[in-house]
Structures are given as structure tokens and as C-alpha cells.
Amino acid sequence: MANPSENLINLCRAAVEAHRVATSVPYTPEGWRPWMDAAETFQAAVTAEANQEPKQNRFKLEQAAKKAVLHPEPDES
């Protein structure tokens, strides 16, 4: 199981939020630029983190970060 860092999860959250904002209004290149930049930053971070020791599968790492953001586990408190 891939284990994304808190930084990677935060970058994914930022990309998801930027997507929400960009798609809430009619398309303009300037309006979508923050989303595209956030997504690019997230993807670069996934690649960098996957290549750190111990190496992780890049695809599984990306999916684990997205799952943590889009489908968080319920608190068991």
C-alpha cells in the first residue's frame, strides 16, 4: 500500500479545490490556469515522492493521495 505524505495530500487538496473553483464558472484560459498549475505541482510532487527511498509505485501513490482527499476514512472516535 502506498503511503502519501501530508504534503502530497495537501497538494492534492489544493488541486481538487482549484478544479472546483475553475469549473464553477464559464471557461476562460485565465480562470483555469490556477487549476492547471495546481495539478502540475501535484503531479511533479507525486513523481518526486515516488522516487524517494524507499521507492513507491507512482500510480499507487497518486491513487492513495486522491483517495485520502476524495474519499477520506470516517473518524472512528
Helices (H), the chain: 6-22, 29-50, 58-70
pLDDT for the residue 73: 84
The Cα–Cα gap between 63 and 38 comes to 17
pLDDT band at 65 (very low <50, low <70, confident <90, very high): very high
The Cα–Cα gap between 9 and 27 comes to 27
| Mean residue pLDDT across the chain | 95
Section 36-58 average pLDDT: 96
**CB–CB of 58/48 below 8 Å?**
no
The Cα–Cα gap between 1 and 45 comes to 18
